[in-house]
Amino acid sequence: MQALSLAFLAFLLYLAAASWQGMVLLRRASPQPLLVRGMALLGLLSHLPLAIGLFGHGVPVLPGLSTSVILISAGVVAVLLLVSLFKPILNSAVGILPLAGLALLLAAGLPSPERAQGLTPGIALHALSSLLAFAVLAIAAVQAVLLGLQNRALRQHHIRGLVQALPPLTTMERVLFELIWGGVGLLTLSILSGFLFLDSMFAQHLAHKTILSLAAWVIFTVLLFSHHRLGWRGMRAVRWTLGGYGVLLVAYFGSKFVLEVLLGRG
């Protein structure tokens, strides 16, 4: 009950922060980055006891769906707040925060059937790099959605509203590729550390995640190479970013959702 109360409080705070930033994008409120960050930070502080509480029993080497969602959603919000201090990505809060809050609320009500196991430093490196890669690329995906909306509005000669609220198109695109570069670097570290420190990345319980993570890595790497050498940008960059992130999302949560929620297996 306490976990659900904290999760609900975090959800409300995340939703409040996202709502204000959404009104900014709709030109119905003035930008208040400190207010948005403050509400999101309070939400994260309500979220963290649930995440930290997992460590009291030891985080499993292969966490289940609820554990993964609680940890990763906290990581995504934390990365968003940190990076927004240096890059103009706070608009991504409109998508990131409600999804993080809803995911947390749903995960807090799920059982966590896995048994705790100790983490070696190598596996901890793999887990941390995996979490950060997912977080950075999640923000990149929302950035891509905003960039796509901005592109479409400009093509339709709608220069008011959303276009005025967002940074210039060139800035949006530059930040998108900076996020992808960072995410690919972290994903590379995650994959390499997995091969080094896990018993077998192609064991039955890991094969799907390994193959799909490698596929996502290839998609993002092709996008970065083609942007640098062939000048890929605009809607093509948006589609490849969302495609790569979709594959990564299935890699992280697909089989866990099927096994634990649809089939009811621990």
Say what the pLDDT of residue 150 is: 93
DSSP annotation of 229 reads: H
Say what the pLDDT of residue 219 is: 98
H helix or E strand, kind and range, residue 39 = helix 33-55
Of 10-14, 58-62, 105-109, the range with the lowest mean pLDDT is 58-62
What string of DSSP letters covers 113-170? Answer: -PPP----HHHHHHHHHHHHHHHHHHHHHHHHHHHHHHHHHHHTT--STHHHHSPPHH
In this prediction the pTM is: 0.90
H helix or E strand, kind and range, residue 249 = helix 234-257
Per-residue pLDDT of 70-111, as tens digits, reads: 999 999 999 999 999 999 999 999 999 999 999 999 888 766
Q: What tokens does 224 get? A: 């970065």
More confident call, 199 vs 165: 165
Say what the pLDDT of residue 259 is: 59
Say what the pLDDT of residue 66 is: 80
Mean pLDDT in the chain?
Answer: 87
Kindly state the average pLDDT of the residues 149-153: 91
Q: What tokens does 181 get? A: 């570069």
Are 89 and 37 within 8 A, CB to CB? no
More confident call, 104 vs 253: 104
Say what the pLDDT of residue 264 is: 55
Say what the pLDDT of residue 215 is: 97
Per-residue pLDDT of 183-240, as tens digits, reads: 999 999 999 999 998 877 777 667 888 999 999 999 999 999 999 999 999 999 999 9
- Cβ-in-10-Å burial (0-12, 13-18, 19+) of 257 comes to middle
Kindly state the average pLDDT of the residues 130-154: 95
Position 8 pLDDT exceeds 50? yes
Say what the pLDDT of residue 201 is: 74
Handedness of CA 231, 236, 242, 243 (dihedral sign): negative
Position 41 pLDDT exceeds 50? yes
Say what the pLDDT of residue 160 is: 73
Are 197 and 124 within 8 A, CB to CB? no
Say what the pLDDT of residue 116 is: 47
Position 46 pLDDT exceeds 90? yes
Kindly state the average pLDDT of the residues 41-68: 75
Q: What are phi and psi of 250, to 5 degrees?
A: -65, -40
* pLDDT-derived band at 131, boundaries 50, 70, 90: very high
